[in-house]
Amino acid sequence: MFLQPRRAATEFSGYAVEFSPFHEHWVAVGTAQYFGIIGNGQTVVMELLPDGSLATMRSFDTQDGVYDVAWSETHPNQLVAACANGHLKLFDVTTSDNFPIQSFAEHTNEVSGVNWGLVDRTSFVSASWDHTIKLWHPQHPASMQTLRGHTGPVYNAVWSAVEASHVASCSGDGSVRLWDLKTPGRPVCDIAAHAHEVTALDWNKYNPTQVVSGSVDTSLKVW
Q: Check residue 3 and give its pLDDT.
A: 63
Is residue 199 within 8 A of residue 155, CB to CB? The reply is: yes
How far is the C-alpha of 95 from the C-alpha of 121, rounded, in Å? Answer: 22
Report pLDDT digits (tens) over 46-74: 999 998 889 999 999 999 999 999 999 99
Q: What pLDDT score does 1 carry?
A: 47
Cα dihedral 149/152/158/162 (nearest 10): -30
Exposure b/e, 150-164, CB count within 10 A at least 16 = b: beebbbbbbbbbebb
pLDDT at 189: 94
Q: What is the pTM of this model?
A: 0.94
Q: Are 168 and 179 in contact (CB under 8 A)?
A: yes
118-151: per-residue pLDDT in tens? Answer: 999 999 999 999 999 999 999 999 999 999 999 9
How many CB atoms sit inside 10 A of residue 196's CB? 13
Query: In Å, what is the CA distance from 157 to each residue of 47, 91, 95, 176, 202?
Result: 27, 21, 29, 10, 9
pLDDT at 135: 98
pLDDT in tens, 70-120: 999 999 999 999 999 999 999 999 999 999 999 999 999 999 999 999 999
> Degrees (nearest 5) of the Cα angle 100, 68, 163?
100
Residues 6+ apart with CB under 8 A from 9: none
Mean pLDDT taken over the chain: 95
Cβ neighbours around 220 below 10 Å, total: 11
- Find the DSSP H helices in the chain: none
Mean pLDDT computed over 193-220: 95
Q: What is residue 159's DSSP assignment? A: E
